[in-house]
Amino acid sequence: MKTSDTKLRNIEELESALHKNKKPGYLPFQLLKMIADVGGIRSSGMDLQDSQFQPASVDLRLGKKAYRIQSSFLPENEAVEDKLKDVLLYDVDLEKGGVLEKGTIYLIPLLEELVLPKKIKGRTNPKSSTGRLDMFTRVIIDHGHRFDEITPGYRGKMYLEVIPRSFPVRVQEGLSLNQLRLIQGDPEISDKTLKAHYKKNPILHNSDAIPIDLSQVKVDGGLFIGVDLVGNGKNSIIAYKAKTNSSVIDLSKVNHYSPLDFWEPIYSQKKNRLILEPESFYIMMSKEKICIWPHLLAEMIAYDPNSGELRTHYAGFFDPGF
């Protein structure tokens, strides 16, 4: 029997074991590793690394080339590579690093491919470091109808759409900009269940790390959190605004740049309010401290027209234990 056939059989055995469990939720580190070990998560180029596996997610890595495209697209009933031909302008070699220009759309095949059990689906989201650099990223798959959603039992490649919005960036093959979570059943909990969890294990805390009582918390389709417009006192920094005339950021260089080369500090203002300029990117701190307990994970809603006509984040996923 070929190795691939053996792995497929093991995936079916794992699928049977997961089906017997029937507990809904996001798969933890142990099960993600197990799926990878039997070939459910595999790499077409570099070997999978232990460092890619987080408490409830897997980092996905960029492939060898980025394709500059005319517009975003969903493949619908086609393969991504067939649709790509219609919008392709040119490609950028990422093996030794390439620059992605600000305000430009790229599609990058990811190194990781999937052979998922039939009832396991997935979601993807940007890593926090990606979101902080105002990089809009989302995944598409063959025959996909939604961004960042992996259909149950999907078998195939994944592709990452990348739009640098504030800074031109230099990236290279093997770099991780986003992450994958795998799901069984419906993992979301109701407000009633959330309140019950909160009473036992408070999630929001004040600046002194004292739990905020449930009676002081707004729960409506999830927990509401605010932004800190006060800071630590008079003339405190309450936000950073991205500069628009900055140079290229090489994402392979860690702790290399001075933040003030790319960010303008915003200080506390009268009446503790801040007017946001349209099309500008800000980083702000939450008013509350957040504790995600080991049996939970969380995700922020990116856009809610009932709360405001703006996108509030690009990377709002909280691992268990955050």
- Count of Cβ atoms closer than 10 Å to residue 132 Cβ: 17
CA 142 and chain centroid, separation:
20
In total, the chain counts a number of residues equal to 322
Structure tokens at 129: 């470091």
pTM exceeds 0.85, yes or no: yes
**Domain assignment of residue 103, yes or no:** yes
**Domain assignment of residue 320, yes or no:** no
**Domain assignment of residue 290, yes or no:** no
Cα–Cα distance for residue pair 222/306, rounded to 1 Å: 14
Sign for the CA dihedral angle at 208, 213, 219, 222 comes to positive
**Domain assignment of residue 269, yes or no:** no
**Domain assignment of residue 159, yes or no:** yes
Contact indicator for 238, 231 with CB cutoff of 8 Å = yes
The CATH number that applies at residue 123 is 2.70.40.10
Contact indicator for 167, 196 with CB cutoff of 8 Å = no
Cα–Cα distance for residue pair 118/8, rounded to 1 Å: 12
Cα–Cα distance for residue pair 317/125, rounded to 1 Å: 7
Q: What is the pLDDT along the chain (322 residues), one digit of tens a residue?
A: 344 455 556 777 777 777 666 788 999 999 999 999 999 999 987 899 999 999 999 999 999 999 999 999 999 989 999 999 999 999 999 999 999 999 999 999 999 999 998 889 999 999 988 888 999 999 999 999 999 999 999 999 999 999 999 999 999 999 999 999 999 999 999 999 999 999 999 999 998 999 999 999 999 989 999 889 988 877 799 999 999 877 899 999 888 888 898 999 999 988 888 888 888 999 999 999 999 999 899 988 876 666 666 677 777 788 899 8
Cα–Cα distance for residue pair 289/206, rounded to 1 Å: 6
Find the distance separating the first CA and the last CA of the chain, reported in whole Å: 44
Cα–Cα distance for residue pair 267/240, rounded to 1 Å: 9
Q: For the chain, what is the domain count?
A: 1
Structure tokens at 134: 């105002």
Sign for the CA dihedral angle at 98, 100, 101, 106 comes to positive
**Domain assignment of residue 190, yes or no:** no
Which residue in the block uniquely carries the two structure tokens 């507990």? 23
Domain range spanning residue 178? 3-184
Structure tokens at 202: 């408070």
Which pLDDT value is given to residue 14?
75
42, 64, 213 from 46: Cα distances, Å: 9, 11, 48
**Domain assignment of residue 207, yes or no:** no
**Domain assignment of residue 158, yes or no:** yes
Cα–Cα distance for residue pair 66/171, rounded to 1 Å: 10
The candidate with the shortest Cα–Cα distance to 62, out of 172, 180, 181, is 172
Contact indicator for 68, 91 with CB cutoff of 8 Å = yes
Cα–Cα distance for residue pair 124/163, rounded to 1 Å: 16
167, 210, 296, 316 from 128: Cα distances, Å: 16, 26, 18, 7
The candidate with the shortest Cα–Cα distance to 150, out of 177, 110, 121, is 121
Which pLDDT value is given to residue 3?
42
